[in-house]
Amino acid sequence: GAVVSQHPSRVICKSGTSVKIECRSLDFQATTMFWYRQFPKKSLMLMATSNEGSKATYEQGVEKDKFLINHASLTLSTLTVTSAHPEDSSFYICSARRGTGRNEQYFGPGTRLTVT
């Protein structure tokens, strides 16, 4: 099956710093990637849709200047949490959609961010 990786798997950073999370599709090209956020014991909430070569589409309530998304290639999307605060601590999961005609989506293993 298709493989999506995320790096890092865990990160601890100090308040005010920025953190970059990478999402890679390892064996297929993904024109679209999605970024989700999951609080402890909660559901996944879509943050934004990342399209290769264009600006990301953010969901209502998600600050685009705080959560910067770059989808520079067909296999890589990055999420940068800028000026992180403790309330940004969460589990961030990306997914990649394979192809344009099929709705097959593959999830990365997630990144646990802790802001101290």
Assess 112 for contact with another protein (CB under 8 A). Answer: yes
Indicate the Cα dihedral angle 36, 19, 8, 58, nearest 10°. Answer: 20
Identify the DSSP state of 59.
Answer: P
What b/e sequence results for 72-90 when a residue is b if at least 16 CB atoms lie within 10 Å of its CB, and e otherwise? eeebbbbbebeebeeebbb
d(CA 75, CA 87): 29
**Identified binder of another protein from the candidate list 57, 70, 80, 89, rule CB under 8 A:** 57
Q: CA geometry: angle at 98 spanning 109 and 66, to 5°?
A: 55
d(CA 84, CA 51): 24
Assess 51 for contact with another protein (CB under 8 A). Answer: yes
Assess 49 for contact with another protein (CB under 8 A). Answer: yes
Give the nearer residue to another protein in terms of CB position, either 14 or 41: 41
Assess 43 for contact with another protein (CB under 8 A). Answer: yes
**Identified binder of another protein from the candidate list 29, 104, 114, 116, rule CB under 8 A:** 104
**Identified binder of another protein from the candidate list 21, 23, 24, 32, rule CB under 8 A:** 32
Assess 8 for contact with another protein (CB under 8 A). Answer: no
Residues that bind another protein (CB under 8 A): 32, 34, 36, 41-46, 49, 51, 57, 91, 93, 95, 97, 101, 103-110, 112
